[in-house]
Amino acid sequence: MKKIDYSKWYGSKLCPFCVKKLKENDLGIREAEVSVYRGTSKVKVSYCKECGTDIVIFPSPARVVFGSIATAILMSGLFGLMFLGAEDTSTFAITGAASAMIIGTLGIIGILIYTRNKGKDVIKQIESTN
């Protein structure tokens, strides 16, 4: 099996269903309703015009690392604000807040890594057909 040069794919928009790299004229934008804390919110989502599947953007490793660092800093700041604003500073409250911060941080980092791996799988399929 030949080695794949992933650096040429950084930032590429990929369709996991059609298994191809998309150009700007292959993309469409639609509004999707997403559940939020108080009801729903509308967000714009890019999709493949040919099959209607949501696209996958393949991020560079640096983007994943910087995103992970930024997430850890943001969550640490939120933990600090929760700690400063807490009236009850018992060990149980601090442990609960720290646990929530760690779980949230790991969840977001997991999403970043999952997106990259999903893009890698599509790229492997594209490269194997070439």
64 vs 111: CA distance, rounded Å: 10
User: Helix or strand or coil: residue 108?
Assistant: helix
**For the chain, what are the domain ranges?**
6-129
Query: What is the pTM (predicted TM-score) of this model?
Result: 0.72
Q: Along the 130 residues of the chain, how does pLDDT read in single tens digits?
A: 578 888 888 988 998 898 888 888 888 888 888 888 778 888 888 888 888 888 888 988 898 899 889 988 988 888 877 777 767 677 777 777 788 888 988 998 898 889 889 999 999 888 888 7
